[in-house]
A and B are shown apart, each in its own frame.
Chain A
């Protein structure tokens, strides 16, 4: 009986505890003008994390008396719950949010995000950001990117490039390629020595990004706009797409990328390159910091050999929720992140800043990373990513890449993608 009574006491205690919980969870509401609630999902040691931490400090010193409540979120949490959070009174004042039609575009259409256009022109952010990078920050009334209203302000950009392991190139006596033909002969040389030239991951973005790049080699700007921004009807079985898919299938057959990489994750492929197993990796600037930190060999980066168009875009950006109680503070904070100081910190941390001072970047590799990007942005060479135009297209593209690697006919794969594209693209 004593035991039973103790159990009952425990039970009662827990029950009361759970009931008092609601009291702790309440919000204090009307702290307008006194508090900036800020969310982002970059890890503290990444380029963005470092730069933004500095920006928070600077904000505190320029805004004495304002409390900054920063919460680090997970990418997935924001991706899954942003719509619900922004539709409640618990929305933060400024947050990092994902670019794209299905994310920022959708929420802007639903009226959950503040139109930043007046602030952008007032504070001159539009002059700092290259037009090619602006595309992902501006949306039209239908929520399609490339519109006329600013809903996001990107601090950084990202693009794909080739990472070269210089030690392996030297060891096998191969010259680092600067044109597409040189790339092919370099790959032949490596295959001749029994080395697989490119690391690859079939079950994530890497494989289909090869396909898109190989198609871009045969394409032009209107082609990209048709596919990404629905300016004209996109034909996924046209000459450029066919060339891209066929060439990639060919590459697999010739052993330029390993056939057994069909089931690998990007993480595996990246780690394999960083551990020195492959001479080349074609992937995003998001790997730069990690390669710089962990690679034990000589390396360099360059855009895809001979490319006029390559994969890349503005990065994820700051958005201000409609429900924010402190919009002015939010704008002030964004302004600090756009200043040279924060931008240079971002660049020195291995990110691609949108408005840095090239002379302030100390690391030679980071300098090249940024100047390569600036050249691409200036020549209107950013072609975004193949999975953007249609919601849920990423998984379709991964499957398509795997099919190509497994020997399905390119025409058949592209035909399937065309169906998915037509089904998902806005009419």
Chain B
């Protein structure tokens, strides 16, 4: 989605420049247009799967069987979308996903900041080895974590609760967050900290009054990432959220996968429904994201 938007913007702005400013035109040689064309083609290719999903979501099963996945639907119907919504109780599922992803995004960022403050600014001993450890933990496949986590959750009575998933993902995501934020903070301008300390700020005050505001853009980016990553998680929610009442969007989509048959039109409808929230979220926070991952400096 974003790709098309920027692409469209690029195209219109390119046209406008071409029309109004002749001086600029000389500088935009054929190479620039070739690049633009290439990017447009690339954006088109990126969009193909999305288009196929939309096409099939709007088809009836009979039409799908007769004409195949790539045909344009004759009379687009929203029947499959409605059916899927009712079948899995999509409203409740959406609420679950929002609660889990939202909580994880906030809590994981908070945890990352606290960790990173100790590692990046506090410069505690052995911070490199801690970071390496976190990075290694990040590369661990979730399949390896599932069984130990399952036993832990069962022991503390959190199996089949959303809280279990929130805790697990807060920790998993904050491993990456800690790594990223501590490298940002290790280049934090020292004069700023020293000035605060001379003014008599405590460590806690330095974190909230000095570091936090400077870090905010990076944190918002992280929060958006954590939200989307957690939203798309499949395996751990699948294992931990047993009751249908606790399920998340990605798990609910799995209901449609049969042993030997798949309901292609309904799967597409489901995929579309599952996709829309993340796309919306992405669009809303697009500016936050494009601000990039770099923290501000002394200015």
Contacts and interface: CB of A to CB of B under 8 A. Distances in A.
A25 B162 contact: yes
A359 interface: no
B258 A267 contact: no
B60 to A, nearest CB: 9
Given A18-B107, A25-B246, A290-B65, A316 B239 contact: no
A224 B256 CA distance: 34
A74 B99 contact: no
A90 B243 contact: yes
A85 B242 contact: yes
Contacts of A18: 99-100, 103-104, 107, 162-163, 166
Nearest to B153: A88
Given A293-B62, A294-B62, A275 B257 contact: no
A61 interface: no
A276 to B, nearest CB: 8
Contacts of B258: 41-43, 75
A108 to B, nearest CB: 20
Given A74-B256, A81-B242, A26 B262 contact: no
A293 B243 CA distance: 32
B106 A98 contact: no
Contact of B255 (A25, A73, A85): A73
Interface residues of B, number: 47
A21 interface: yes
B163 A72 contact: no
Interface stretch (A9-17, A120-128, A171-179, A185-193): A9-17
A19 B106 CA distance: 13
A11 B159 contact: no
Nearest to B239: A81
B66 interface: yes
A84 B150 contact: yes
Interface in B44-72: 61-62, 64-69
Contacts of A26: 161
Given A11-B110, A15-B103, A74-B254, A90 B65 contact: no
Interface in A22-64: 22, 24-27, 41-44
Contact of A274 (B66, B87, B257): B66
B238 A81 contact: yes
Interface string A274-315: 110000000010110010011110000000000000000000
Contacts of A293: 61-62
Contact of B68 (A27, A72, A271): A271
Which of A27, A270, A287 counts the most chain B CB atoms within 10 A?
Answer: A27
A11 B261 contact: no
A249 interface: no
B163 A286 contact: no
A11 B260 CA distance: 45
A243 B35 CA distance: 57
A340 to B, nearest CB: 26
A266 to B, nearest CB: 7
B251 interface: yes
Interface string B206-246: 00000011000000000000000000000000110011101
B154 interface: yes
The 10 closest A-B pairs by CB, nearest first: A25-B161, A18-B103, A294-B65, A74-B254, A22-B163, A74-B255, A21-B162, A274-B65, A71-B244, A14-B106
Given A21-B103, A25-B162, A88-B154, 7 more contacts: A18-B99, A18-B107, A22-B158, A22-B163, A25-B246, A88-B159, A286-B260
Interface of B: 61-62, 64-69, 87-88, 99-100, 102-104, 106-107, 110, 150, 154, 158-163, 166, 212-213, 238-239, 242-244, 246, 251, 254-264
6 contacts: A11-B106, A17-B102, A21-B166, A271-B69, A294-B61, A294-B65
